[in-house]
Each structure stands twice: as structure tokens, then as C-alpha cells.
């Protein structure tokens, strides 16, 4: 049993690492906050005057902000939808007794280990290229005009690429969840007259709800900050059609050298991420209780 | 309705024959217990009757109809699983309603059936709880409730009491027996516990290595086991087996005496031995007596036993209570009078 004494000691021992982590987090945050109130542009070196909320006003009223906000939302929701839907399907397939199942499982996980820039390049040049891409060849083969993916449907193309990366992750988590399902429950349901569809809806899906919640939480954290795939493929364009908040902040601060505006965007992104986090935590709390 | 006939039923997993050709007739309304050591095929056979396992060959008839290749839901049977297999995310009410909803029963009828079943099983106060909030015994009752509402032609129980503690097990044993009396439906009950088998069954089928060794009422199995395996499996504590030298005209290789038939005598008995560990149970006492050249014999005597560790005693048993087994382990069933009496020399 922990005595009061040993608990105090434990806190003391934890103090150095906790304070280091705190400083690690607090200092950049405070600096960003500070910069966001300054007129700080690298192209115009000067006194970096304090301009209050001007940067925020500038960032939030920029038409690009609204567009990239919805792009971020679409990107996150689209990828979540595809990876969870496809993940459940893949997990069910991988759960079947097939020859060489263990190897198939490892192969399925492979895309997750490919770096985002690499996978985006592969997709851009080998699949979605309107002249040399596999899809273009296929379109020509069946006699249709090839689609210029990044010009005609830039956001969808990025959603497809990101989904390809995250599908294995979702499938793997959901597969382990499916494997932990009590077979006797399925048998009981079968005896109770449930067909394959009812068994899936009433037994498998409720059982998977926790795993799905975990997948949503983890994926959302990473999907909010998708960057490499956009930079490599569309550079946010055409226009702002495939720019998300992360990418917008990048263009603001590094392409336009506006440190103040970029910092304001960063703070906005932090606030958005926290709003999402609160929603997710509520969802998780509700789902992980029962 | 609820009669089940198995004809030359077999089951193999690859090269392994789990069930060897087997015939069994289960009568309507009967409480039959499949008992045997683990891995003897009793659960597999139950799952074959339920339709959860394919039958390799032979036929299964339920209510006079060939059901060998029928899907589980069409067989009209209900099963209670060892793990109860309740649906964890549904309330008790929805668990019980699940089979009825799948069968598209009207909501009012479902409500009525749930109320009746809940009253019968003392679950009325728990209908809106989740299975996770119930105790083991209550979960067991929910599983039974889910089975009852379907009004099946037979109930299948797969070791339903093995997850309960000892006192609860005794209670549930009584409840299931009473349920059988009130419903009068065929019940097939799988267990490895011979006490459950003896106390609940109308008839017991003793399984060993994929074959049925013997089918009979509890007393038949106790008094007239067909072989050494059944004799050793039924009865607690286990029967004592003593190897003997077969002589001309007597094929007896081994004799068996139940602990309760051994008597401690003052004068010369059949065996002389030294008392080892004494187990006092209050109502009775188990003596472990070491007999030279024979081994340890278990003796069941009265609760008040004056003997102490190390005492030398004589043991005897009535000749008609001694079972004789031949070389293959089968019981030799000629009249006692024809057989040479067992003497201390053997």
C-alpha cells in the first residue's frame, strides 16, 4: 500500500520529467500566442509592432480560411468513413480461415509503414497521372477519357491516398476486436434465428463500437494535421481546393513570410483541435463506459 | 415432438474420429445427461444436435423429422451455453426478446412472454440491467429465460453450471430440475460432473473416447455398470479396483468394490490394512486404508469413527456387492452363486 510519505516521494520524483514536458509544451505555445499579436513579416523587417487581434481578423475573414476549414472537415470525415467502412470489411475477410492468413495480414499492414511523401508520390506518378498513370491506361483501355485526378477532384484524390495509408491501421485494430468476439455469442444468435445480416448488425457491430471509437480518436488526431500528401501532390490547389488548415498556415507563414498571421492561424488550429478533442472525449467516455 | 433419434452418427475432424458411429434414442420429455471426462465428445455431440457442427455421417432426427442438414434456427432447439453467451450490449429484456424479434413475433406477445419468463426465473427486477451488472446465477437464469421464451421442442445445456460456485451450483441444479418438471420438455444436459448427472437425470449416457459406454437410469449405472470405466466414473468417492489373478474357470481380472460397501470388521475380513488419512465430513468419514500388495482402498463409514491414523483394521464386503471385470474391463454378469467367492487369498 502507498503511504502518504511514499506518495509524496513519488510526486517529487515525477516532478522533473513533468515540468520538462510542461516547459516543452508551454514555451512554443506562448511564443506562438505572442507572435500572433505582432505585425511580424520577414519581408518587412521592422519594429514588429503590437497589432492586437488584427492577425486573427485577417486569418479568419480570409475566404481561404472558410474553404480550408471545410476541406479539413471533409478530409477527416471522408478518410474516417472509408477506413472504418473498409476496415470492418477487411477485418471480416481477414478473420476467415484462408490459406497463408498470417502472411496476408502482414502484407495488408504494409501501406501503413510507407512514408506519407513516398506513398503520395507513388499515387501521384504511378496511379493518378493523367498520361502515364495506371488509371489513365485503364481508362484508355476501356475507351474513356482519362481523368486528371489532381485537377478535377483534388480533395477526393487526397482523401483516397490518405485512406489507403490508414485503412490497414483501422483493419488491424478492428480485426483484433473481431477476434475477441465470443464465438458462443454468434452461435447463440444463430440458434436464436439470426441470419448473417442480423448477426452482423446486432452482435458484431455493437461489439466493435469500442474499437471503432479508438480508431476514430487516433485517426482524427493525425488526419487534422495532414500535410505531406498535399504538399507533394497538389500544393493545396487548384486555388484552395485541396488546402486544409495545416496547409493554409504553412502558406501563410512560410510562403508569404507572415509569421504573425501564421501564428494566429496556428492558435486557431489549436482551438479547433481542442473543440474536436472535447467532442471525441465525450464520445469515448460514453462508449467506453458500458 | 421433442424426441431426438441419432442413427449411426459420426464426426471427424480430419483424421480424428471424435464421435464413433453412435445410436441414441432420446424420448420426448426426457431429461438425459451426457456425462464423461473432458474430450470424450459429449459437447461435440450436443453441438451436432444443435446444428452448430456438421455431422460427418449418419442421421439426426428431431421430432421424427430428418434434421441432419437443417440450419440451427430451423431445428426448434434452444441452447444454454457454458459462458451463457448473453449479448453484453443488450438489456436483460432485449436479450430475452432477441429470438422472438428474429422470429417476428408481435410486440405485445413478446412483452407478455418476457413478463412470464421473468416471473418464473425471478428476473423481474433486473429486466432493464445489462448482463455485466448481474451475478453469475442471474446471468444463468437470463440465458435460460432466453431459451424458454422460444418454446423449443428441446433444451440443450452445455455444462451450464461449471462457472458457478459450489453452493449456487446446488441451487441452480434444483431450479433446472424443477423447470424440467414444470415444462415437461426434452432436455439434454452435458456435464463432466457425475454428481450433477446422478441428481438431475432421468437417464444418463456415459461417454468415453467418442463412444457411449452405457445408457441407463442413475441407479442402473450405479448398480449394474457394464464395464470398469462406468463403474469408476459413477459414484463418489470412486470405486476401489483390486487386480486379482485369474484362475481356471474364472475370468475375473479385477474386482471393484464401492467405498460405501466396504465394512470395517473385528474378525477376519477379506483385506487387512493400515489406516492412512482420515477425512471427517461430519455425516460420514472417508478412510484411506493401505493394504499390502493391493494398494490404497477408500472406505466410507459413519460420521463418528473411533479409528486413528496407523490403526490396523480388517475390511470386508458383501459378496453380492463386489463387481468382477474381465481382461477387457467388461463386467462379468453371471449370478453370484456361480462364481467362486472372493477370498482374502486373492
Give tens-digit pLDDT for B245-281.
877 677 788 889 999 998 888 777 788 889 999 999 8
Asked if A152 reaches chain B (Cβ–Cβ under 8 Å), the answer is: no
What φ, ψ does residue A244 adopt, rounded to 5°? -105, 180
Host H or E run for residue B206: strand B203-208
Q: Do A188 and B81 touch (CB under 8 A)?
A: yes
Domains of chain B by residue range: 4-229, 237-338
Q: What CATH number labels B237-338?
A: 2.40.50.140
Q: At A169, is the secondary structure helix, strand, or coil?
A: helix
Instruction: Mention every residue, 6+ apart, whose C-beta is less than 8 A from residue B17.
Output: B10, B11, B210
pLDDT at B332 over 90: no
Q: What are the CA-CA distances from residue B32 to residues A26, A72, B25, B204, B218 (Å)?
A: 72, 65, 10, 6, 10
Question: Which three-class secondary structure state does DSSP give residue B226?
Answer: coil
B326: left (phi over 0), alpha (psi -120 to 50) or beta: beta
pLDDT at B345: 45
Residue A112: predicted pLDDT: 84
* Average pLDDT of span B333-346: 59
**pLDDT score at B63:** 86
Express as a percent the part of chain B with pLDDT over 70.
96
Over the stretch B177-233, which tens digit does the pLDDT of each residue have? 998 998 889 999 999 888 889 999 999 999 998 889 999 999 999 999 999 999 999
Does the pTM of the predicted model rise above 0.90? no
Chain Cα centroid distance, residue B68? 25
C-alpha cell of B114?
A: 418476457
- Write the CB contacts of A104 (distance below 8 Å, at least 6 apart in sequence): A94, A98
Helical (H) or strand (E) element with B276? strand B271-280
- SS3 state of residue B24: strand
Residue B72 with chain A: CB contacts under 8 Å = 187, 190-191
Chain B positions touching A192 (Cβ under 8 A) are: 73, 98-99, 102, 146, 150
B187 Cβ neighbours under 8 A, 6+ residues apart: B30, B31, B32, B154, B155, B156, B157, B176, B180
Confidence band of B344 (pLDDT split at 50, 70, 90)? low
CA neighbor of A58 nearest in space, from A248, A270, A255, A276: A248
pLDDT tens profile B290-329: 988 888 999 999 888 888 888 888 888 888 888 888 888 8
* Three-state SS at B18: strand
**DSSP labels for B68-131?**
TT--GGGGTEEEE-TT----TTS-HHHHHHHHHHHTT--HHHHHHHHHHHHHHTT-GGGTTS-G
Name the grid cell of A220.
482524427
- Counting DSSP H helices and E strands in chain A, the numbers are 14, 0
What's the pLDDT tens digit per position in A8-19? 888 899 999 999
User: What is the Cα–Cα distance from B142 to B54, expressed in whole angstroms?
Assistant: 28
pLDDT given at position B346:
44
Q: DSSP string of A112-128?
A: GGS-HHHHHHHIIIIIS
Report which of A169, A201, A171, A172 is spatially closest to residue A186, judged by C-alpha positions: A201
Query: Which residue from A259, A50, A84, A242 is spatially nearest to A163, judged by alpha carbons?
Result: A84
The ipTM value here is 0.78
Which residue, among B268, B188, B194, B266, has the nearest Cα to B231 in the 3D structure? Answer: B194
Q: Which of A190, A191, A206, A286 to mutate to test the interface with B (most CBs of B within 10 A)?
A: A191
pLDDT band, very low/low/confident/very high, at B82 (cuts 50, 70, 90): confident
> With contact defined as beta carbons under 8 Å apart, do A57 and A267 qualify?
no
Question: Between A187, A191, A290, which is nearest B78 by CB?
Answer: A191
Task: Tell me whether residues A192 and B102 touch, CB distance under 8 A.
Answer: yes
B83 and A184 Cβ atoms separated by less than 8 Å: yes
Test A191 with B102 for CB contact under 8 angstroms: no
* Own/partner long-range contacts of A176-184 (Cβ < 8 Å, ≥24 apart): A176/A211, A177/A91, A177/A207, A177/A208, A177/A210, A177/A211, A178/A91, A178/A92, A178/A95, A178/A204, A178/A207, A178/A208, A179/A95, A181/A207, A182/B83, A182/B85, A184/B81, A184/B82, A184/B83, A184/B85
Q: What pLDDT digit, counting tens, does each position of A29-38 carry? A: 998 888 888 8
Q: How far is A173 from A93, CA to CA, in rounded Å?
A: 14
State whether B132 and A203 contact (CB < 8 Å): no
Q: Which residues of B touch A (CB under 8 A)?
A: 50-52, 71-73, 77-79, 81-83, 85-90, 98-99, 102-103, 130, 132, 146, 150
- pLDDT (mean) for B109-121: 87
Task: Please tell me if residue A201 touches chain B, with a CB cutoff of 8 Å.
Answer: no
Single out the residue of A275, A279, A272 nearest to residue A68, CA to CA: A272
B81/A202 CB distance under 8 A: no
Instruction: Tell me the average pLDDT of chain B.
Output: 87
Q: Which residues does chain A have with pLDDT short of 70? A: 1-2, 287-290
Burial group, residue B289, by CB count within 10 angstroms (0-12, 13-18, 19+): buried
Best of A193, A198, A288 to disrupt the B interface by mutation (most B CBs within 10 Å)? A193
Best of A183, A187, A188 to mutate (most B CBs within 10 Å, chain B): A188
Query: Is B52 close to A187, i.e. CB distance below 8 A?
Result: yes
- The pLDDT of residue B340 is 61
A276: which 3 cell numbers?
474536436
Enumerate the β-bridge partners of residue B255: B242, B324
CA distance B288 to B280: 12
Correct CATH for B4-229 of 3.40.50.300, 1.10.10.10, 3.90.1150.10, 3.30.2270.10: 3.40.50.300
Amino acid at each position: 500500500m502507498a503511504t502518504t510519505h511514499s506518495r509524496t516521494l513519488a510526486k517529487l520524483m515525477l516532478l522533473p520529467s513533468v515540468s520538462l514536458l510542461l516547459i516543452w509544451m508551454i514555451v512554443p505555445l506562448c511564443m506562438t500566442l505572442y507572435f500572433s499579436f505582432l505585425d511580424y513579416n520577414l519581408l518587412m523587417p521592422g519594429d514588429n509592432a503590437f497589432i492586437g487581434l488584427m492577425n486573427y481578423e485577417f486569418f479568419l475573414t480570409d475566404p481561404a480560411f472558410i474553404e480550408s476549414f471545410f476541406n479539413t472537415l471533409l478530409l477527416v470525415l471522408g478518410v474516417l468513413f472509408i477506413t472504418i467502412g473498409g476496415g470492418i470489411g477487411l477485418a471480416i475477410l481477414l478473420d476467415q480461415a484462408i490459406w497463408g492468413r498470417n502472411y496476408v495480414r502482414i502484407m495488408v499492414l504494409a501501406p501503413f509503414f510507407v512514408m506519407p511523401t513516398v506513398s503520395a508520390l507513388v499515387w501521384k506518378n504511378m496511379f493518378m497521372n493523367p498520361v502515364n498513370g495506371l488509371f489513365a491506361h485503364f481508362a484508355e483501355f476501356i475507351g474513356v477519357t482519362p481523368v486528371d485526378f489532381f485537377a478535377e477532384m483534388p480533395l477526393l484524390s487526397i482523401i483516397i491516398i490518405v485512406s489507403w495509408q490508414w485503412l490497414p491501421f483501422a483493419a488491424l485494430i478492428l480485426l483484433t476486436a473481431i477476434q475477441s468476439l465470443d464465438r458462443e455469442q454468434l452461435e447463440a444468435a444463430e440458434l436464436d434465428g439470426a441470419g448473417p445480416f442480423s448477426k452482423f448488425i446486432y452482435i458484431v457491430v455493437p461489439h466493435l463500437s469500442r474499437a471503432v471509437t479508438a480508431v476514430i480518436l487516433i485517426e482524427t488526431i493525425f488526419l487534422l494535421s495532414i500535410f505531406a500528401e498535399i504538399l507533394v501532390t497538389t500544393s493545396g490547389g487548384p486555388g484552395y481546393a485541396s488546402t486544409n488548415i495545416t496547409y493554409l498556415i504553412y502558406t501563410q507563414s512560410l510562403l508569404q513570410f507572415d509569421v504573425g498571421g501564421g501564428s494566429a492561424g496556428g492558435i486557431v488550429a489549436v482551438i479547433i483541435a481542442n473543440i474536436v478533442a472535447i467532442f471525441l472525449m465525450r464520445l469515448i467516455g460514453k462508449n467506453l463506459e458500458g | 415432438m421433442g424426441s431426438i433419434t441419432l442413427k449411426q452418427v459420426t464426426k471427424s475432424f480430419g483424421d480424428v474420429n471424435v464421435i464413433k458411429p453412435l445410436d441414441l434414442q432420446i424420448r420426448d420429455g426426457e431429461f438425459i445427461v451426457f456425462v464423461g471426462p473432458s474430450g470424450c465428445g459429449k459437447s461435440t455431440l450436443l453441438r451436432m444436435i444443435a446444428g452448430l457442427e456438421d455431422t460427418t455421417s449418419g442421421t439426426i432426427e428431431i421430432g421424427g423429422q430428418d434434421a441432419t442438414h437443417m440450419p440451427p434456427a430451423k431445428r426448434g432447439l434452444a441452447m444454454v451455453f457454458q459462458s451463457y453467451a448473453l449479448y453484453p450490449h443488450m438489456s436483460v429484456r432485449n436479450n430475452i426478446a432477441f429470438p422472438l424479434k428474429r422470429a417476428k413475433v408481435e410486440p405485445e406477445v413478446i412483452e407478455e412472454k418476457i413478463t412470464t419468463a421473468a416471473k418464473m426465473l425471478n428476473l423481474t427486477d433486473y429486466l432493464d440491467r445489462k448482463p455485466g451488472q448481474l451475478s453469475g446465477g442471474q446471468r444463468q437464469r437470463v440465458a435460460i429465460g432466453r431459451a424458454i421464451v422460444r418454446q423449443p421442442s428441446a433444451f440443450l445445456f452445455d455444462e451450464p453450471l461449471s462457472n458457478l460456485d459450489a453452493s449456487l451450483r446446488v441451487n441452480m441444479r434444483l431450479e433446472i430440475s424443477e423447470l424440467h418438471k414444470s415444462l415437461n420438455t426434452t432436455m439434454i444436459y452435458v456435464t463432466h460432473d457425475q454428481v450433477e448427472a446422478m441428481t438431475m437425470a432421468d437417464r444418463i449416457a456415459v461417454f468415453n473416447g467418442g463412444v457411449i459406454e452405457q445408457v441407463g437410469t442413475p441407479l442402473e449405472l450405479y448398480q449394474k455398470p457394464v464395464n470398469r470405466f462406468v463403474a469408476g466414473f459413477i459414484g463418489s468417492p470412486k470405486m476401489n479396483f483390486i487386480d486379482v489373478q485369474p484362475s481356471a474357470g474364472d475370468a475375473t481380472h479385477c474386482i471393484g468394490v464401492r467405498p460405501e460397501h466396504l465394512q470395517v470388521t473385528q474378525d477376519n475380513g477379506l483385506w487387512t490394512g493400515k489406516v492412512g488419512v482420515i477425512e471427517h465430513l461430519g455425516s460420514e468419514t472417508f478412510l484411506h486404508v493401505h493394504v499390502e500388495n493391493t494398494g490404497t482402498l477408500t472406505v466410507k463409514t459413519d460420521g463418528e469413527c473411533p479409528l486413528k491414523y496407523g490403526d490396523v483394521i480388517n475390511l470386508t464386503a458383501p459378496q453380492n456387492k463386489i463387481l468382477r471385470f474381465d481382461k477387457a474391463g467388461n463386467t462379468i454378469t453371471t449370478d453370484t452363486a456361480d462364481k467362486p467367492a472372493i477370498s482374502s487369498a486373492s
